[in-house]
Amino acid sequence: MPVSKARQIAFDILLRVESQGAYASDLLHAELNAKIKSEDAALATELTMGVLRQKRLLDFLLDTYSRKRSATLDVEVAIALRLGLYQLRFLDRIPARAAVNESVELVKSARKRSATTLVNAVLRRAAENSQTPVASLIPGDLPQAEHLEILYSHPAWLIERWLKEFGEWRAIVLLEANNRAPETAGAFAFPQEREADIKTLELEGIRIAPGRWLRDAFHAAGGNISSSSVFRSGHMSVQDEASQIVPRLLNVDAGDSVLDVCAAPGGKTVTLARAAGPDALVVATDIHEHRLRDMRAQLERVNLKDVRLAGIDAARPLPFRQKFKRILVDAPCSGTGTLARNPEIRWRLKLDDLAEFHTRQVAMLGSALAQLEEGGRLVYSTCSLEFEENEAVVGKVLAKARGYRRVPRAEMEAAIAPHLAAAANAASLFDVTGAFRTFPPEQHTDGFFAVAIEKRA
């Protein structure tokens, strides 16, 4: 019995995520081309991302229904079991028989035939108990963080932090939000072509709705937007709405010189380059050459060929003689604001990593500030929810720097006001300290932090 296309794709991607440290979203983007049926693409995405989001819960169920602990299983067997358990527990439309049988076939095709009896027995037991509430299976004497770790499938150390930082209610709604598929958002490049582009997308099976925050943004459902003719033509880009707002905080005018530090994959660079115009100097850097190559392809797709790319370690002093009027430091970070979109991060991140990120972020911000011209503006941003990567970085750098000021909230609001949708409440995008901040369950975006800094003239 052959394994269905969707399940084989999901299995292969999960195996690469587990064994090679790959990212599921990148692999899905590469794998789900126009040759893959839309229904197979949808199921492959649901299975891949669902298993990654619910990994801790699925392993708890595996341990509950098996004499062998999940940690002792070959990775191929563990993935096949997780796929079967996910279908039994979360996908009502898939018959239990199909979920069980195809997981058995997956271990056969992975040359793990000796595990077929185990997989069959565990999944049949799980199928018989698929309606049993998970909460009733969790030992009642577990500490709160460990209980929530199983129930919401996040590492306990991160849950403990969020309980202290956000309080119980906000922490739990964040956990819930991270386990839901995020909306596919993006922006249209040419407002005058928007209606025609929407009609084309609808003919290709993609439904478009207005964005929540930005007037040029959209939300999409159905189909494969990255394979659409509108995407390939450069008339649109796929990007979370909070991510779209960050470069707007720089308030770039035509002709401004712009430096985009740590720029790949280039979504924010596109916004900056279009605002600066074709005659402006726009430089985008990244430490990884392969990411710069991908970025060049992205810029060519949207017909922005004059952006200068440079392979640079931004944690070191930057090699530019010129100062820049506008600088974006979208710093590499833990990514805890993107755990719905990049669920594998939650299983890779360790507490000690936050200190390492902090050190590099401080170095990057310090190096970038040295390139800012008098009267210029720099925006520091992350897609992290963590204090060490946000307020602590800005505070440490500005405590030693002289001649800089934090841009007040009113000025930051004014920078994005022309781009907001009519019903958007700009005030809700900023916290009491004046920082731009989004919280996934509240703004329904990725979690971003940003502050603007100006060099006094």
Catalytic residues: 383
3-state helix, strand, coil in the chain (%, to 5): 55, 15, 35
Q: What does the DSSP 8-state code read for residue 441?
A: H
Contact 252/281 with Cβ under 8 angstroms?
Answer: no
Q: Assess contact for 342 and 21: CB atoms under 8 A.
A: no
Q: Are 424 and 430 in contact (CB under 8 A)?
A: no
Coil, strand or helix: which one is 167?
helix
CA distance 457 to 231: 42
366 close to 418: Cβ distance less than 8 angstroms = no
Number of residues assigned to the chain: 457
Identify which of 244, 253, 198 has the alpha carbon closest to the alpha carbon of residue 217. Answer: 244
Question: In one letter, which amino acid is 103?
Answer: S
Letter string b/e over residues 30-51, b meaning 16 or more CB atoms within 10 A of that residue's CB: ebbeeebebebbbbbbbbbbbb
Whether 107 and 83 have beta carbons less than 8 Å apart is answered as no
User: 365 is written with which tokens?
Assistant: 């911000």
CA angle 34, 38, 43 (to 5 degrees): 125
DSSP letter for 226, please: G
- Token pair, residue 21, equals 């440290």
